[in-house]
Structure 1
Amino acid sequence: MKHLINIDNGGTLTDVCVWDGDQFSFTKTLTTPFDLSECLFEGIAKASANLYDERDLIRLLHEADHIRYSTTQGTNVLVERKGPSIGLLVEDPSVIDAMQSDDDHSTLFADLIGTRVETFNLSDDELEFSLVQTVNKLTTDGAARLVVVGSDTESERTVRNLLLRNFPRQLLGSVPVLCSWEFVDDANDARRAWSSVVNTFLPPP
């Protein structure tokens, strides 16, 4: 059997365990949060030195049947509340209450969203102007990501298209507008909103 490489990426250390079908080899390296690929390849290279008595990253990768990767990065960000400030834009105001159905959800809502939440009404005759004012307020209040929760994909597309038309690219490039239906297909608005907010708060894979 060829090698099985197991990688556990944590906030401080990245552990690498290599199994050759008979024996295990363990090593670890410092996590490089600015570029997780760096600690990944460094860990595999260190593991190759244990196996071959010299660093040979390419050889170990060629001799690997599988590479399994797990990480606590997302859990750490959520527990430590170190993600970006989220601004929430919802079509149905009842979603705001539904997202805070108990004390735990209310605490999480306060930590991730706080007061950065606004509503929109597609039948508003001045929708375009209203959205511009709303987004200006959310970003002024510190929102670094905007999550739009509409009743369907079409309503969310309408909002995003209006925002793209009214804001310069440099703003919406630095403050992304993310639509809930793109994260998960779920008719439950509150559940879909939470899935979107948490995914937006976590670092990209």
Structure 2
Amino acid sequence: MKKDSFVRDALILTAITLVSGLLLGAVYGMTKDQIEAINNASTIASYQQVMAAEEYDDETYYDALETAKSDGTVSADNGGAELISVVAAKDATGAEIGYIVKAQAAGYGGNVVVVIGVDSDLKVTGISFPETLPETAGLGQRALEPAFYEQFAGKGTKLSVKKGGGAGENEIDAISGATMTSTAVVNSTNAATEFVQNYIVK
């Protein structure tokens, strides 16, 4: 009797597990496209913040990006910042108007992901943050404030972090109490401009 009860319970548990798995699979199938659409919209929005364009082409410089990753020089030159992706921003005629690089570097609470717009003159057109910052509220989170991120527009290559205010032409004023976050953003920005300089415009 106990054996029959054990077998019955095992069959019931198996059936419940199977049905649950099928239901989860069905729900994922229904929401997968929606989640992908939301992620794509978020990515495009981050591109538009740094460089408005009619088209964002993520294929033209894919090989150049892979070569740069393999070489490792860009990362080594910029505090270990990692290149994630690159797109060519194009106007209505299909002409390239600049480049948008996504990169990340270690901050205080984890990797800080940054999207950086770079024009053909190697000037930064802007930066944005496509993901939630893993930084401390009131400190590293202040990277989301215009007073910090608006400093980057119009800057060139090889930026450095300046503590205490009064940043010069190739300097960025650090966020008070969040030098690691500031440095992470600068490292990613420098990686982006170096990549564009050495692997795209040459």
- TM-score between the two structures when normalised by the length of structure 2: 0.23
